[in-house]
Amino acid sequence: MPENNTVATVIHARWVLTMDPNQPFLENQSIAVDKGRIAAIAPRGTLSVQAAETIELSDHVVMPGLINAHGHASMTLFRGLADDLPLMEWLQNHIWPAEGRWVDEAFTQEGALLAMAEMIRSGTTCFSDMYFYPNVVAKAAASAHMRCQLSFPILDFPTNWAQNADEYLRKGLQLHDDYRNHPLINIAFGPHAPYTVSDAPLKKVAAYSVETNMAVQIHLHETAFEVEEAVKNTGQRPIARLNELGLLNPQLQAVHMTQLTDEEITLLAETGTHVIHCPESNLKLASGFCPIAKLVDAGVNVALGTDGAASNNDLDMFGEMRTAALLAKGVSQNPSAIPAQTALQMATINGARALGIDELTGSLEVGKAADMIAVHMDDVTCQPHYHVESQLVYATPASQVTDSWIGGKQVMRNRQLTTIDLEDILTKAKLWKAQIQMADEHPNE
């Protein structure tokens, strides 16, 4: 506690879900927040402090903010543009051409702010983004006071942001230097996928990652087609190739992973590689099923992501938790697979662990950043609640999130955003929709 017993905020909550294994679930608690961090968690009435602000949440669960460990924030402006298509057709014939035409700094900024507004309103306090113009997203995240990992893209071919792998790396490493000491923003390598990045840049990523201690996020084993083509072209499955290049290690965040053998699961566990599961995107694109029950049993850290809104089509991590838990039961044919507590871990502390920030966030513990959300549990959708943790995963809609704090700053108060002008960003989203739709309907004009 502060020496003068004065703190910025005290929150009185009906329940506190800490995600701390030593005391995961508490009732009738008070949380003291000061200088952006949790100063104390104690039974109500036992804190001897003076607070500049006191907040009563008598029908709420206060819990760690959710961590969306993989996405493409600015693609929110492509939401619904090309639905109900296979992955490669969706990507090559629709998304990549649209990106080539529309993605610039304005598109990236306004799409990222739209995504952040949606994420905050649905309980996310930290997100990982892999997209173009990460320098623009960094500024937008800082203005919205939102925690993030920005995985700057690396590809063999030119895009609107860079012309070749060396330019992607040069720009990304400069971005890392620019935000090296930022309290909310981390920079990571984001090689797109094994089929879009050749060995030479991947070797550089592996070396730079060791040198700088930067994380690496990559789409990996997303579809059976990807794996089959890799074997046909290189004689190796992509995981084996990455392992030879020195990329399978605790710095790697492997996204999707729907095609895994038992031997590969063992290899992931032995190397400490993290898996980012995006169940709704994989379902929508018919990419396959990540065997998360097997991964968890093997000791692999599994986190959750929504992927981009162009393939999900929302950024709702409450929905992602529910889908992950239910899908795991169906795939494993085991109703006990991925219980509610495990799903909550995937969306909070596991996500923080995957992003390398678990000492800072992902659970409510004294000394950690005050990244928290309040979920109202007295709504018709949440009654009755015999087991609050199960209720959060299986029955609570994201619209029940009423308040959100990131680094102690309240970014949503009673469903109202405090750091993003929602009316302005919705107006800009509608203008983008009209522009893109008109060009799509009249391509020669």
Question: Residue 236's pLDDT is what?
Answer: 97
Has residue 218 been placed in a domain? yes
Q: Are residues 133 and 53 in the same domain?
A: no
Q: Are residues 130 and 167 in the same domain?
A: yes
Q: Are residues 170 and 313 in the same domain?
A: yes
Q: Are residues 37 and 185 in the same domain?
A: no
Has residue 315 been placed in a domain? yes
Has residue 100 been placed in a domain? yes
Q: Tell me whether residue 54 is exposed, middle or buried, using C-beta atoms within 10 angstroms of its C-beta: 0 to 12, 13 to 18, 19 or more.
A: exposed
Q: Are residues 84 and 25 in the same domain?
A: no
Question: Residue 412's pLDDT is what?
Answer: 98
Residue 59's domain is classified under what CATH number?
Answer: 2.30.40.10
What average pLDDT does the segment 94-123 reach?
A: 96
Q: Which domain holds residue 397?
A: 6-64+371-414
Helix (H, G, I), strand (E, B) or coil at 31: strand
What average pLDDT does the segment 390-401 reach?
A: 97
Q: Are residues 161 and 264 in the same domain?
A: yes
Task: Indicate the average pLDDT of the chain.
Answer: 96
Strand partners, 60: 376
Q: Are residues 41 and 121 in the same domain?
A: no
Has residue 216 been placed in a domain? yes
Share of the chain above pLDDT 90, in %: 92
Task: State the DSSP H helix or E strand holding residue 283, giving kind and residue range, or none if neither.
Answer: helix 279-284
**pLDDT higher than threshold 60 for residue 237:** yes
The 10s digit of each residue's pLDDT in 368-395 is: 999 999 999 999 988 998 999 999 999 9
Has residue 210 been placed in a domain? yes
Going by C-alpha positions, the residue among 297, 214, 288 that lies closest to residue 249 is 214
Phi-psi region of 5 (alpha: psi -120 to 50; beta: other; left: phi over 0): left
**pLDDT higher than threshold 60 for residue 184:** yes
Has residue 441 been placed in a domain? no
- Of 304, 328, 354, the domain-final residue: 354
Q: Are residues 13 and 127 in the same domain?
A: no
Question: Residue 5's pLDDT is what?
Answer: 85
Residue 306's domain is classified under what CATH number?
Answer: 3.20.20.140
CA distances to 11, 41, 124 from 62, rounded to whole Å, are 9, 11, 13
> What is the number of structural domains in the chain?
2
Has residue 20 been placed in a domain? yes
Q: Are residues 160 and 296 in the same domain?
A: yes
What average pLDDT does the segment 317-324 reach?
A: 98
Q: Are residues 81 and 59 in the same domain?
A: no
Q: Are residues 319 and 329 in the same domain?
A: yes
Question: Residue 441's pLDDT is what?
Answer: 65
Question: Residue 311's pLDDT is what?
Answer: 92
Has residue 359 been placed in a domain? no
With beta carbons less than 8 A apart as the criterion, state whether 200 and 194 touch: no
Enter the DSSP assignment of 77: G
Q: Are residues 217 and 289 in the same domain?
A: yes
Distance separating alpha carbons of residues 162 and 169, to the nearest angstrom? 9
Question: Residue 88's pLDDT is what?
Answer: 84
Question: Residue 444's pLDDT is what?
Answer: 55
What average pLDDT does the segment 235-254 reach?
A: 98
φ, ψ (nearest 5 deg) of residue 275 = -115, 130
